[in-house]
Structure 1
Amino acid sequence: MSAATTVEDVYLTIEESARLLGVPCSPEKIRPVLTAYGEGLADAGMVLSVATGANPPEDLDYTITVPATGPDPYAVALSEGFVTKPDHPVAGLLPDLRARVPVSEYFIDGGIVSGFSKIYAHFPGDTLPVAQLADLPSMPPSVAGNADLFARHHMHDVAMVGINYRSRAVNLYFAQLPSAFRTAHNIRSLNRALGLPEPQGPSLRFAQRSFRCYVTLGWESPRIEKICYAPAPVRDWDPSALPVLLDPRIEKFVRDTRCTYPGPPFVIAALKWSASGQHLNLGPYLRLSPLLRDLLHEVTGEKV
């Protein structure tokens, strides 16, 4: 399959999913991104996700893997005009990571309404401690400033860094979470330390199943802006096990989105807290990269 054919097939799948959700889909916002990264698209992993709460949903996010052996994804985003190079440390963070971190693959992230927003560096086989990441010249000082908080709450190994060029923020994805992280006491204490409501009931039980946890930090404030708890992806997802009620359109989107692998979709769900409240992100994997297949085999025991 040619790169152009793959781009068109992926775009049509996104368009179909947007129609299920009632989210407006503009080809001029999506096709240029798919085309720019199209050479690796045939073997790429891809997930669609939507935030619960808005009725109807306001946007549909897509996340696509980009091979580490290909062009610098930030250089591509700059050359295509998806981002502009600011006079700000955010511009230097991916180059700093590329020079010092053994990246396995990258991800690009955007919304079909809001446009291109993030690049992630993923290094699950070579997780790094917070102190090593804090030493990167372009990393926000808030990472080092919260190192003790992370350590107290059993958050040690970072497997991925996300860079949001639109909001000038960084996500640290903590992996290999020990059982001590998932205790009710630890999760409540962590949210309380961030000045956020303590999880209760179904939300607490959901957070206790975390496979990864990520935090959002910026350069302008020492505070952690957001925390997210994400259990491992599941194949046979159960809407009743989620800590929020789903709009029927979201449930239909998850069930009916067209995937390129056999069987029911693998589904991710992530529960987030920020100053704006609690919400859930939910969505299916459309495509599986070789690394994603390995990770899913590791966490689910199923070969795909």
Structure 2
Amino acid sequence: MESYMSGTSEADEICSAVTETAGRLGIAFSRDKVWPILSAYGDAFAHAMPLAFRMATGPQHAGDVDCRFITHPKDRNPYPLAVSKGLTPKTSHPVGTLLSEIEERFPIDGYGIDFGVVNGFTKVYAGFAPQDLQNASKLVEIPAMPRSLAGNFDFFVRHGLDDKVAFVAVDYLHRTVNVYFNDVPAACFESDGIRRMLRDLGLPGPSDRMLGIGGQAFGLYITLNWDSPAIERFCFGVTTTDLSSLPVSIEPQLEKFAHCVPYGGADRKFVYGVAAAPEGEYYKLETHYKWNPGTVAFI
């Protein structure tokens, strides 16, 4: 399969932003790791909104920063190109067929890509139109989907999430799947609702910080894998153009990150997220390099 376009000025601009951000954060940057991704999807950058960088706390996220963007054209699955260009290895694992099986069964409204400055190509998002959110009860029928989605289906029904699926993200590096929910019932973000959901999932109870973020959250997502019947992580986030307006203070390393990312637009936008996991909570900050009002936000 041919690349979207190679060597575009937009790809050069993003490469410069990645280089500058990595340098300011003291992260080893390899053009040989990043440029093949930017080159393969070069045409996307003339149309992609948002373009964003993300960093997370916790030892499992140390030493890397992610870049994410929406691909163009929106009806072209970016995963086969990633395999053909050697950005991610071909695999017989179900992770390699999940996206095509989703594409066969659901009306995809657009795709997004994540890559790490250090880890390279990691993830593809498949999104549904805001007015056409999908049902988890249909997703569980996909052969390659982790069985933990079906195994926890009662959880989605109980909390009013079954018909609220907005995105599915396939992480090829870590072999996990994220299922994103929008238009979430308000009760899910109330303190008692958050406690109830984490208890239902067998995850540790929320901190006061997590409860504070919940009051302003816009959506939530879960993380699944093929090796466990449990939901691995539960996450939600808030958006803001002013970090000082958040209901909690952000971690020093994330605040430093926010100041290290260059910006190519008029107004700044941030997404601050919290994830509950068996080993405890961790936090992440997405800062947009370019964005348009009304564009989607990931956590």
Normalised to the residue count of structure 2, the TM-score between the two structures is 0.89
State whether residues 155 and 181 of structure 1, in contact with CA within 8 Å, keep that contact through their aligned partners in structure 2.
no
Displacement after TM superposition at 1:113 (Å): 1.1
Q: Distance in 1 between matches of 2:101 and 2:192?
A: 36
Q: Distance in 2 between matches of 1:54 and 1:139?
A: 28
User: 3-state DSSP class of the match of 1:47?
Assistant: strand
**Corresponding residue for residue 289 of structure 2:** 286
**Corresponding residue for residue 168 of structure 1:** 175
User: 3-state DSSP class of the match of 2:198?
Assistant: helix
Amino acid at match of 1:28: D
**Corresponding residue for residue 25 of structure 1:** 29
Q: Distance in 1 between matches of 2:87 and 2:126?
A: 18
User: 3-state DSSP class of the match of 2:266?
Assistant: coil
- Identity among equivalent positions (%) equals 32
**Corresponding residue for residue 155 of structure 2:** 149
Q: Distance in 2 between matches of 1:58 and 1:101?
A: 36
Q: Deviations over 1:193-248 (max 9, x none)?
A: 222211132221112322111101112221001111112x211222773355323x
Unaligned runs of 5+ in 1: 299-304
1:59 aligns with 2:59: no
Amino acid at match of 1:271: V
Displacement after TM superposition at 1:34 (Å): 0.6
Displacement after TM superposition at 1:117 (Å): 1.0
Q: Deviations over 1:4-45 (max 9, x none)?
A: 211111011111111222211111111110111111212112
Displacement after TM superposition at 1:122 (Å): 1.1
1:19-98 to 2 correspondences below 5 Å: 19-45=23-49, 46-53=51-58, 57-69=62-74, 71-98=76-103
Cα distance change on mapping 1:68 and 1:275 into 2, 3 Å = farther
Unaligned runs of 5+ in 2: 1-5
Q: Distance in 1 between matches of 2:281 and 2:171?
A: 20
Displacement after TM superposition at 1:72 (Å): 2.5
Normalised to the residue count of structure 1, the TM-score between the two structures is 0.88
Q: Deviations over 1:245-279 (max 9, x none)?
A: 323xx32431352222213x100111012123211
**Corresponding residue for residue 194 of structure 2:** 187
Instruction: Indicate the RMSD between aligned Cα atoms, in angstroms.
Output: 2.2
Question: More deviation in 194-203 or 220-229?
Answer: 194-203
Question: More deviation in 83-92 or 50-59?
Answer: 50-59
State whether residues 240 and 246 of structure 2, in contact with CA within 8 Å, keep that contact through their aligned partners in structure 1.
no
Amino acid at match of 1:293: P
Q: Deviations over 1:106-159 (max 9, x none)?
A: 111121112211111011422101101111222122111111012222323110
State whether residues 220 and 234 of structure 2, in contact with CA within 8 Å, keep that contact through their aligned partners in structure 1.
yes
1:1-304 to 2 correspondences below 5 Å: 3-45=7-49, 46-53=51-58, 57-69=62-74, 71-125=76-130, 126-156=132-162, 157-231=164-238, 233-238=239-244, 241-242=247-248, 244-247=250-253, 250-263=254-267, 265-288=268-291, 293-295=293-295
Amino acid at match of 1:241: P
Cα distance change on mapping 1:44 and 1:295 into 2, 3 Å = closer
State whether residues 57 and 284 of structure 2, in contact with CA within 8 Å, keep that contact through their aligned partners in structure 1.
yes
Q: Distance in 1 between matches of 2:215 and 2:32?
A: 41
Q: Distance in 2 between matches of 1:239 and 1:31?
A: 36
Structure 1 runs (4+) deviating above 3 angstroms are 53-57, 68-71, 239-244
State whether residues 239 and 246 of structure 1, in contact with CA within 8 Å, keep that contact through their aligned partners in structure 2.
no
Cα distance change on mapping 1:177 and 1:56 into 2, 3 Å = closer
